Structure 1
Amino acid sequence: MIRPFQIGIACAGLAIPIGSLAMSSLADCATIEADIARLACYDQLAGRADQPASEDKPSLLTENWELAGNAALFHLRRYKPVYLLPYFNASRANPTPSSPSRGVASSNPAQLDATEAKFQLSFKTKILNDIFGSNGDLWGAYTQSSRWQLYNREHSRPFRETNYEPEVMFLWRTNQGILGMRARYLAVGINHQSNGQGGALSRSWNRIIGAIALESGQWTVTLRPWWRVEEHGSEDDNPDLSDYAGRGEVLATRVFGGHVLSLEARHSLRGGDRSHGSLRADWAFPINDRLKGHIQLFNGYAESLIDYNHRSTYLGVGFSLVEWH
């Protein structure tokens, strides 16, 4: 039991000026009765400077998916990147979008500029926490991306395409070793994506998406297979959408020194004339504390829903405020 006079001795020992602790030998330190002051003397002889205990910084997945079990409900979190790309150039524009069920949108090709602007907004929030005992969270998310013919003054700078993507997902926290990485969560969710247009320009699909997220050091890898909810007959605007936009994706992200590199690969998981896919690479680099430069390169099919069966290469340059996860 620590007595009051012992606490007083310890405090008196701590009050000794640092210079007086610079003893010439271990024997001098041994003569100090107060434990804390005696240890400080030994530390100074060993050349150890007082340093505050540092806390381990949570990993990217832990912080942004609240994997430590925090119960911050309805707190907005980053999800997909939030960016503005004033320069977004297509190697091949798509003036006559079409689908097997709706045909060609118009007999008159749209007057499109190859260079436009693109921007994306995205966020998520936890709706329910620890549904099953101390695990199991329900999240909601929303992503919206637009392609804007900003420089097409002759045709009133129209918004060419906007994709809306709400989703709900159930997430199970884990920490298992897999292939030299750590699996941090498993998830399954329902996703709706559409472009809000009608007639031959209408594009939409509903998916059930599974996910497993892995991390190792500065790397995170997320695998997301999905199953399209089939629509019947004439209700399906684009029956072959999965053969172009894919049946799954792999997203690899590395965060280092303020930079964020990501590579996203999608594929139809079919062979022959049903084999299609895409690659998207993003690099965000620091400009200041809150703003990053952003470069995006895309090659393949389905850069947007209206262009799901149109292949092109896109290069985007601009700024981002929020990156992955």
Structure 2
Amino acid sequence: MKNILLIPALLLCAGSLAQGKDRPLFVRDSLFQTLSERWEIDPEHYLGNFRITPYKPTYIVLTRWTSDTNRQPASFNPDYVAESPLDLNATELRFQISFKTKIIRSFLLRNLDLWVAYTQKSHWQVYNAETSRPFRETNYEPELILNYGMRVPVLGFDLRMAGLSFTHQSNGRSLPLSRSWNRIIFHLAMERENWQVTLRPWIRIPDSDDENPLIEDYYGRMEGIVTRQLGNHLITLEGTHSLRFGPDNRGSLRLGWVFPIDGFLRGHIEVFEGYGETLIDYNHRQFTIGLGLSLVEWR
């Protein structure tokens, strides 16, 4: 747990030192950015190494309601089953921070860059005064990413980048609520005018002590992200799938709408249905609705 928490602190310190006093963190020139601007693909978008930039969305969902509160989390590993029901509210607050920094440009190949990234998502029972407003679940996700920039026409889109990452994700908890897994995630990302499409299939790295058996059959083996810009609004569809059919046809869908409030501050409304909203919920199906504020989105 302590080692995991050191990662974002080290990245922030390194990024702050490299950026200088005249450039703030998460510097952005426009409300929506191209893949080249986000990943420094074209020469005019190079920012240099060790500069902190956005990765996944950064937001706060002020109220998130679920149709089925997971009061007694149960992994398919019998050692990871909660002994008694937890006193949890159906409504809670959720926030996510996510950033990345390039550490090597032209790593082995001219257009191949090496990045490190960190994402943290927390579900906070802030409205649950009876149990002292605990954090229900926090997921920590450091990544090492290889990204290759390109421009290849594909089905009317420009394929702008491809690569892979080594990803560790865990909730930093002890038995019986501990959950973690490691993956190698491949990615392809393309864009056309106001559209962006990202595909992320993965391979799970086997664990000696599997805390979440069959997670691929519930959370999925692949993720797809589609964004559509409509003026100053952004519609996002995120989906995961097990890549299986019949009884193992599972996954999740998240539909989001981001709308302008002031400057780069935006309103955020989302609807989620399926499995794996958090690691502790990897085999728990639910429907959720959330309303909040967003600073950074997928583009």
- 1:144-169 CA deviation, whole Å, 9 max, x = no partner? 00000011000000000000001011
Q: Report runs of 4+ in structure 1 exceeding 6 Å deviation.
A: none
1:4-83 matches, cutoff 5 A? 60-69=34-43, 70=46, 72-83=48-59
1:133 to 1:196, Cα distance in 2 relative to 1, 3 A: closer
**2:279: which partner in 1?**
305
Return the structure number with greater strand share. Answer: 2
- 1:273 maps to 2:247: yes
- CA separation in 2, counterparts of 1:236 and 1:166? 19
- CA separation in 1, counterparts of 2:33 and 2:125? 39
Gaps of 5+ in 1: 1-56
**2:91: which partner in 1?**
115
**1:25: which partner in 2?**
none
Deviation of 1:71 (Å): 5.2
Whether the aligned pair in 1 keeps the contact of 2:80 and 2:211 (CA below 8 Å) is no
- CA separation in 2, counterparts of 1:229 and 1:133? 26
Picking from 133, 147, 157, the partner of 1:157 is 133
> Structure 2: which amino acid aligns with 1:170?
L
Deviation of 1:103 (Å): 5.0
> Structure 1: which amino acid aligns with 2:216?
S
Whether the aligned pair in 1 keeps the contact of 2:265 and 2:294 (CA below 8 Å) is yes
- CA separation in 2, counterparts of 1:261 and 1:58? 12
- 1:320 maps to 2:291: no
- CA separation in 1, counterparts of 2:97 and 2:32? 25
- CA separation in 1, counterparts of 2:201 and 2:267? 30
**1:211: which partner in 2?**
187
Deviation of 1:243 (Å): 0.9
SS in 2 for 1:99: coil
TM-score by length of 1: 0.79
- 1:98 maps to 2:78: no
Whether the aligned pair in 2 keeps the contact of 1:87 and 1:117 (CA below 8 Å) is yes
- 1:182 maps to 2:155: no
- 1:200 maps to 2:176: yes
- CA separation in 1, counterparts of 2:79 and 2:64? 27
Gaps of 5+ in 2: 1-30
Deviation of 1:102 (Å): 3.2
1:247-266 matches, cutoff 5 A? 247-266=221-240
SS in 1 for 2:110: coil
- CA separation in 1, counterparts of 2:49 and 2:234? 27
- CA separation in 2, counterparts of 1:319 and 1:59? 19
Deviation of 1:274 (Å): 2.2
**1:51: which partner in 2?**
none
- 1:155-185 CA deviation, whole Å, 9 max, x = no partner? 0000000000010111111100011111000
1:58 to 1:274, Cα distance in 2 relative to 1, 3 A: closer
Identity of aligned residues (%): 48
TM-score by length of 2: 0.86
- CA separation in 1, counterparts of 2:168 and 2:78? 20
**1:129: which partner in 2?**
105
**2:10: which partner in 1?**
none
Deviation of 1:105 (Å): 3.2
- CA separation in 1, counterparts of 2:272 and 2:151? 33
- 1:231 maps to 2:207: yes
> Structure 2: which amino acid aligns with 1:187?
G
1:182 to 1:86, Cα distance in 2 relative to 1, 3 A: same
